[in-house]
Amino acid sequence: MTAQLEIEDLTVAFGAKDAPPVLDSISLSMVQGEVLALVGESGSGKSMTAMSTMRLLPHGARMSASAVRFEDIDVLRASDRQMNRVRGGRISMLFQQPKRMLDPTATVASQVAEPLQRYLGMSRSKAQSRVVELLHDVGIAEPERRARSYAHQLSGGIAQRVMIAMALAGQPELLIADEPTTALDVTVEVQILRLIAAKRAELGMSVLFISHDLGVVSAIADRIAVLYAGRIVETGTTEQILRAPQHPYTQALIRCSRLAREADGSLFVIPGDVSSARAVTSGCRFRARCHVAEQEHLQHVCESEEPGLHACGPGRASRCWVTLETRRSA
Ligand SMILES: Nc1ncnc2c1ncn2[C@@H]1O[C@H](COP(=O)(O)OP(=O)(O)O)[C@@H](O)[C@H]1O
Ligand SMILES: [Mg+2]
């Protein structure tokens, strides 16, 4: 099956020429209709990856890649006009702070109607009646009344449903959801995840789902890519990643997600933080926080050489000397 979205060797850097890049040779691909999750701690480069596919990087970002392609669009070479048509239309986005993303001065109806008029060419009156249907479709009770509301009158969960209605209004082929449930209560989070999953099944769109929490991602993703300090460190199907995580970082993420509670009910915390890892110039970027690298016989190689992303089964890969060694000796 040909990929719908293909990213090859994507590197993004800011500031001085020798500053460590925030994304380092990221390669990803998605086929039509699948849910791919990007997981990693805050600062690992998830949003930058998403923004790169839409060519929406912050000012000052330097982006290079062998390829960034969405369907027939060469994202690296497309005109601004072409990219403007893709954004919000064929690719749409959901963000973490739905209430902040809404215009406080405009009604829900006029905001949801906008993509209908812009991307589908609907008349104003046709768009207005379609808005009510769309709000109903995303599970909003009393859609006529909600259509007349302003952002400050909505709860976080309802606001995210409105954002989903807006995101789906242009009938996207790909939905990029960047931590869409992070600001919501757990019960609302579950409802929103179910809604996104249902809409994906109904509309056949693909979803690039971003979260720092493997527990959240496991509820919705077909495949997972784990990001650490701007590098992909593991990829696999959701089942493979959860059942047999290969990379020590993935193992740690599982331990600190809600999937696993420590025996005393507390949540595990990975020691150290990701911010210093990017400056690591030799060896594995995760080694300072890695429980496996502490093993003496591995220390030397983990310190001296960065492991490549090596295949460890069909559709699976891990960037760890231990995984590689285990496979070699098997
Ligand atoms: N405008 C910017 N200038 C310089 N560095 C930035 C800028 N925006 C983000 N970064 C850096 O890029 C890295 C990745 O950020 P991001 O993709 O937002 O992470 P995530 O979404 O995984 O939390 C972070 O280390 C962050 O400090
Ligand atoms: Mg982010």
Domains and CATH numbers, the chain: 5-102+154-329 (3.40.50.300)
Taking the alpha carbons of 22, 82, 134, 109 in that order, is the dihedral positive or negative?
A: positive
Predicted confidence (pLDDT) per residue in 66-101, tens digit: 999 999 999 999 999 999 989 988 999 999 989 888
* Cβ(105)–Cβ(147) below 8 Å: no
> Quick one: how far is CA 75 from the chain centroid?
18
Place of tokens 């990001």: 227
Taking the alpha carbons of 279, 76, 26, 254 in that order, is the dihedral positive or negative?
A: positive
Predicted confidence (pLDDT) per residue in 258-290, tens digit: 777 656 666 677 777 777 777 777 899 999 899
Nearest protein Cα to ligand 1, atom 1: 58
pTM equals 0.94
Buried b (16+ CB within 10 A) or exposed e, 179-210: bbbbbbeeebbebbbebbbebbeeeebbbbbb
Q: What is the largest CA-CA distance in the chain?
A: 71
Q: Name the residue of 23, 48, 53, 62 whose CB sits within 8 Å of the most ligand 1 atoms, as the mutation to test its pocket.
A: 48
Tell me the C-alpha distance between 225 and 241, whole Å: 9
Predicted confidence (pLDDT) per residue in 173-232, tens digit: 999 999 999 999 989 999 999 999 999 999 999 999 999 999 999 999 999 999 999 999
Kindly list the protein residues that place their beta carbon closer than 5 angstroms to ligand 2, a single-atom ion: 46-47
Q: Residues lining ligand 1, CB < 6 A?
A: 14, 22, 40, 42-48, 58
CA-based end-to-end distance of the chain: 32
Which ligand gives the minimal distance to the CA of 231? 1
Separation of CA 93 and ligand 2 centre (Å): 13
| Residue 76 one-letter amino acid | L
Separation of CA 161 and ligand 1 centre (Å): 27
Which ligand gives the minimal distance to the CA of 42? 1
